[in-house]
C-alpha cells in the first residue's frame, strides 16, 4: 500500500498525531524534497525523490515513472509513505504518482491521509476569519464545488444538476467511527450537520 501523507504547511508542530504514527509504522518513507525530509526526520529517515518544477510534461512523466519504480517494491509488500507538504489531495503531485502506479502496478492500493492545507493555514497565519463561501484556484477555472453543512443532499444535488453538475460525493461525519460516504444516486434525503458534498461538472 502507498499512503500519501499530508505533512502540513512546514512547521513541525503542525504535523498531525496520525501523521507521526504512520511515519513510525511505515516500512519506508519517501518525500519530494528537503523541507519534507526535515519534517519527518525526528521520526524516520526518508528517501528524497526528484519532482522537477518544470512545464516539460515529458520530463515530469519520466520522473513520475522512475519514482513509481522506486516506491513499488515497498508498496507491494508493506506500507510505503509518501510525505508531502500541505494536504495530498490539494494541488499536489500525489494523484499523478498514483495514476502512474496504477498503470504499471495495478495491485498496489493508494490512499491519502489529510494534513493541514495551505488554505486553512493561510487563514490562521493572516488572522482572517472565513465565514462565507470562497473560491480557491491555481489560476485555472474550476468545474468543482465543495459544499459544507449539507443537510439536504439530494435536494442540493438536484439544483446543481440544473447548473450542469454531474458527479457528486457526500461524506458524512468524516473520520468518525460512523463515517458514511455516498456517491451520485446513493445521496440521502437528509444528512448530519457535519457533512461535506463534492460536486463536479
- pLDDT digit string, tens, across residues 76-87: 999 999 999 999
**Residue 114 cell numbers, joined:** 489529510
Kindly state whether residues 96 and 150 are assigned to the same domain.
no
Q: Give the structural domain span for 184.
A: 144-200
Kindly state whether residues 7 and 100 are assigned to the same domain.
yes
Give, as one character, the DSSP assignment of residue 186: G
For cell 498503470, the residue is 103
Kindly state whether residues 160 and 66 are assigned to the same domain.
no
Tell me the pLDDT tens digit for each residue of 129-178: 988 888 888 778 789 999 999 999 999 999 999 999 999 999 999 989 99
Task: Judge whether 132 lies within some domain.
Answer: no
Task: Judge whether 128 lies within some domain.
Answer: no
Is 31's pLDDT higher than 80?
A: yes
Kindly state whether residues 108 and 57 are assigned to the same domain.
yes
Section 62-80 average pLDDT: 97
Section 36-60 average pLDDT: 93
Question: What is the share, in percent, of the chain residues with pLDDT greater than 70?
Answer: 100
User: How remote is the C-alpha of 59 from its chain's centroid?
Assistant: 23
Section 97-120 average pLDDT: 95
Kindly state whether residues 27 and 79 are assigned to the same domain.
yes
Kindly state whether residues 28 and 94 are assigned to the same domain.
yes
Kindly state whether residues 81 and 172 are assigned to the same domain.
no
Is 49's pLDDT higher than 90?
A: yes
Kindly state whether residues 114 and 161 are assigned to the same domain.
no
Structural domains in the chain (count)? 2
Q: Domain of 40: which CATH number?
A: 3.40.1010.10
pLDDT value of position 81:
98
Determine the Cα–Cα distance for residues 127 and 34; give it in Å rounded to an integer: 28
CA triplet 170, 172, 176: central angle to 5 degrees? 140
Average pLDDT of the chain is 94
Q: Is 145 in a helix, a strand, or coil? A: strand
Amino acid at each position: 500500500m502507498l499512503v500519501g501523507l499530508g505533512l502540513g504547511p512546514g512547521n513541525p508542530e503542525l504535523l498531525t498525531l496520525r501523521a507521526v504514527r504512520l511515519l513510525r509504522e511505515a516500512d519506508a518513507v519517501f518525500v519530494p524534497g528537503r523541507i519534507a525530509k526535515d519534517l519527518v526526520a525526528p521520526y524516520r529517515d526518508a528517501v528524497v525523490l526528484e519532482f522537477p518544477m518544470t512545464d516539460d510534461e515529458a520530463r515530469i512523466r519520466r520522473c513520475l515513472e522512475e519514482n513509481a519504480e522506486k516506491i513499488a517494491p515497498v508498496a507491494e509488500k508493506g506500507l510505503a509513505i509518501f510525505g508531502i507538504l500541505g494536504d495530498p489531495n490539494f494541488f499536489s503531485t500525489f494523484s499523478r504518482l498514483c495514476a502512474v502506479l496504477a498503470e504499471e502496478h495495478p495491485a498496489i492500493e493508494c490512499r491519502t491521509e489529510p494534513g493541514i492545507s495551505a488554505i486553512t493555514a493561510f487563514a490562521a497565519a493572516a488572522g482572517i476569519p472565513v465565514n462565507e463561501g470562497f473560491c480557491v484556484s491555481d489560476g485555472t477555472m474550476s468545474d468543482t464545488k465543495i459544499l459544507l453543512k449539507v443537510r439536504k443532499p439530494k435536494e442540493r444535488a438536484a439544483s446543481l444538476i440544473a447548473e450542469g453538475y454531474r458527479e457528486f460525493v457526500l461524506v458524512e461525519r468524516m473520520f468518525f467511527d460512523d463515517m458514511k460516504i455516498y456517491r451520485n444516486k446513493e445521496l440521502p434525503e437528509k444528512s448530519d450537520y457535519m457533512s461535506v458534498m463534492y460536486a463536479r461538472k
